[in-house]
Chains A and B, each alone.
Chain A
Amino acid sequence: MVERTARSVGIRIEGLYKIFGPTPARFMPMVQAGMDKDELVRSHGHILGLRDIDMEIAPGTLQVIMGLSGSGKSTLIRHINRLVEPTSGKLTIGGIDVLALDGSELTEFRRTYTAMVFQKFGLLPHRTVLQNAAYGLEVQNVPARRRRETAMRWLERVGLDGFENKYPDELSGGMQQRVGLARALAVDAPVLLMDEAFSALDPLIRVEMQDVLLGIQEEVRKTIIFITHDLDEALRLGDRIAMLRDGEVVQQGTSEEIVLEPADDYVRRFVREVNRGRFVRVDAVMSSDGAALPPGSGVTVDGAITLEQAARIMAGSGAETADVLGADGAIVGSVSLRRIVSTMIANG
């Protein structure tokens, strides 16, 4: 069995700004006064990475960050372990003021608080799978035997037993990322940073990896920041989603809030492609006002199932309407097939 993380920490980001360029501080006042990204580049040759980010991530939850390429997702996640230094703002992790840490404190913080999984895996090609998985423990000077045991345990957990003496270039992409995941989990840090960790993988492998991650998260309850530009992935994994655009958060909330009430056209464009039938629950679209619909056809559906499942049940029994059951088995509302279908195919 894999040991549980004792600590669980929250992350709080306040008023975070990042401007790339030789003299970022000079342009802070202009950016704060509302100068946009294009103008900053055009007239001053500086790049606006992030603008006034406020975010609160509860301990043990999975926060998804989404946005188009160049919207600042990687920049944001790299602030959390300070691979990128902010131009201004505050960052607190588990009560620690991360921006106040000096060189050796920062190294110690990275070793004990954060672990990271990379889009292109970031493995050491000249080392075996086992040596890669043990890398985080190695730099912490954990004795060789113990780090081998720990790394081995996590390799088994991600389904790589038998591969420990192979080299990364002998593995498929999906398996390489399992190594990346095992390496990150082996250090047992409470915060896990995943920058498009599954984006380079084939769709089927990607779903497999999502399952692996969800299974592990069930056990270890880490605070995970997960970047993706795939909404299906975001909806499967995320407790909450934040949408980034040109370095700004345009909307953050639960998955359902994002899908059902997109804040603007930018978010709507992401949401449009989503298969709502697989994700929205029946009780989110039912009407709880009994008079609105004719009495039930005798068919009942559980409020917690998805629209797609409900549609299948209703179509199978030829029912136009169905009663929706709550968690306790009592009827809490009703829903029509027409309503279900129109929600499933609606365009944002």
Chain B
Amino acid sequence: MDWLLSFPHIDRRILTALKTSVDAWFRDVARALGSAADLVFHPLHVALGGFERFMLTVPWPLVIAFVALVAWLGSRSIKLVLGCVSIFVLIGLFDMWEDTMKTVSMIFVCSMLTIVLGIPLGIATARSERLQKAVLPLLDVMQTMPSFVYLIPVVMLLGIGRVPGLIAVVIYSLPPIIRLTNLGIRLVDREVIEAADAFGSTGRQKLFTVQLPLALPTIMAGVNQAIMMALGMVVIAAMIGVQGLGQPVLKAIANQYFTLGVFNGLAIVGIAIVFDRISQAYGERLQRHRGIGRG
């Protein structure tokens, strides 16, 4: 009856051999490519460092004014502007300004990179059935794979620091943008597409005059989700050396500093709320005249 109680598995020695040989192979690859990879990703390193320094040198009133301006442009709502400003003021009062600026700069660069990679990939996926069949299952895996697992190969390849953190975050937050760009383009009313074709639009003209503008609210929902997922990775990214609000949280876990953890956690939530409300309000304003759900 023994075999019923424990699942008959592949011999342990074989599994160990498998794991060690794959690990050894990957380690060799990482070693061989490590310096090349460092070189390739160097521009990211510079951008991240530069932007972070910039955020830290800008006087805080300017940052708050900028947040207020973006909130106003995105939502045209005084209430939302006041809400966003007070979140940043509270963060400052509780002495988390510096870490917050680091996190905001990291999230900003990650989001830009995600958008720049994700939208073209989404467009390509929308244009080819074959590609969609290949990409969608891959996105499912990327989204359900525990985010810690991304850290392993990235750290093996690039070590610890901002860039590997950035890459792990981007991989994690890429799927929603690709998925929603693809979906948004595919949901564009068939008759409008036919109209573009019937008047002799080229594929490019159709993409820029019809498909992207009409998919924009859906794409914005993808951007919003991507930013939220990136914020969700802040603490995990801190484990491989990314600076910002994640670091104090890690310290709080290690030393059982309850309030430190809660304050920094709330600051992350605050930033998430600011990003989320502004981008959602903007997305909603985009929906005006874009006929989502109309035949």
Contacts and interface: CB of A to CB of B under 8 A. Distances in A.
B199 A126 contact: no
A135 B295 contact: no
Contacts of B255: none
Nearest to A113: B200
Interface stretch (B41-49, B134-142, B205-213): B205-213
A169 B201 CA distance: 23
A116 B213 contact: no
Given A167-B289, A169-B294, A124 B198 contact: no
B200 A110 contact: yes
Given A122-B191, A125-B294, A169-B291, A83 B198 contact: yes
Contacts of B209: 124, 135, 138-139
B95 interface: no
What's the dominant secondary structure at chain A's contact region? Answer: mixed
B198 A110 contact: yes
Interface of B: 189, 191-192, 194-202, 205, 209-210, 213-214, 289-291, 294-295
Given A125-B289, A126-B214, A169-B294, A83 B191 contact: no
B interface SS class: helix
Interface in A282-310: none
Interface of A: 78, 81, 83, 107-112, 114-116, 118-126, 135-136, 138-140, 167-169, 183, 187, 193
A234 B202 CA distance: 34
Contact of A187 (B192, B199, B214): B199
Given A122-B195, A183-B199, 12 more contacts: A107-B200, A110-B197, A118-B194, A118-B195, A135-B195, A135-B199, A135-B209, A138-B209, A139-B199, A139-B200, A168-B291, A169-B289
A139 to B, nearest CB: 5
Contacts of A135: 195-196, 199, 209
Nearest to B214: A126
B209 to A, nearest CB: 7
B210 A124 contact: yes
A126 B291 CA distance: 8
A64 to B, nearest CB: 20
B129 to A, nearest CB: 13
Given A110-B199, A193-B198, A123 B289 contact: no
A81 B200 CA distance: 10
A340 to B, nearest CB: 44
B195 to A, nearest CB: 4
